[in-house]
Amino acid sequence: MIEIIPAIDLIDGKCVRLSQGDYAQKKVYNENPLEVAKMFSDAGIRRLHLVDLDGAKAHHIVNHKALEQIAAQTDLIIDFGGGLKSDDDLRIAFESGAKMITGGSIAVRQPEVFASWINKFGGDKIILGADVKDEKIAVGGWIETTELDLIPFVQKYIKMGISKVICTDISKDGMLQGTALDLYKKMLVNEPDMYLIASGGVSSVEDIEQLEEARVPAVIIGKAIYEGKIRLPDLRRFIYL
């Protein structure tokens, strides 16, 4: 069974989606993220991926009030990411109700800080965000591609205790053209016990079925839900009730 994790991306406290991480290609779907979160919760969904896009730009947590509201008024288990750079950011995120946080750029640019978070909070609370382009890690809201190869990068942090990895293929994200299925299969061949969370490109229930068949443990779905390509009732058979 594959775990379904809808995404809410936040700009100015509103629920938005970008295409390929481009802030110029922003579309507002709802002024009230809490309303969206309640809709997911009412459908039986238990997890939420909440992304602070303002925080990603500002390099510190910004939309913690939205996190606080959703955590207080739903039963969703929230992982929160976007611009978390300091111990203080993590403190605010966890105090605001996040059960897990996702770190991406910081794992590249300040690996010692990210490693200290793993040691302090444990691999079950810290998720590695591995954004990738042509199997190279990308950072800074995907503006910059590094020379770091995806699989060795992920393996380094698995050795440190990370168990959950969100892998987003930048070329797929927000494009509704299918997932990076072959890449995920390759990752699981190298690290079969990793809790791999596929992200980017989901456009249909068939995409989810293909990931499930490939034994990918979890998938983040964003734009496909907001654009009506996937309806919440379509997800019932994937949801743990």
Task: State the Cα–Cα distance between residues 172 and 56, nearest whole angstrom.
Answer: 20
Annotated catalytic residue: which of 9, 52, 79, 89?
9
> Which pTM value belongs to this model?
0.95
Annotated catalytic residue: which of 52, 79, 89, 131?
131
pLDDT, position 114: 98
Mean pLDDT of 194-220: 97
Q: Given CA atoms 107, 118, 162, 169 in this order, what sign does their dihedral have?
A: negative
Residue 89 annotated in active site: no
Average pLDDT score over the chain: 93
Residue 176 has pLDDT above 80, yes or no: no
Residue 131 annotated in active site: yes
Regarding predicted confidence, which is higher, 146 or 172?
A: 146
Check: CB of residue 53 under 8 Å from CB of residue 9.
Answer: yes
- Go through 156-178 and write b for each residue having 16 or more CB atoms within 10 A of its CB, e for each that does not: ebbebebebbbbbbbebbbebee
Please give the CATH topology (third level) of the domain spanning 3-232.
TIM Barrel (3.20.20)
Q: Which tokens sit at 149?
A: 């190869």
Residue 77 has pLDDT above 70, yes or no: yes
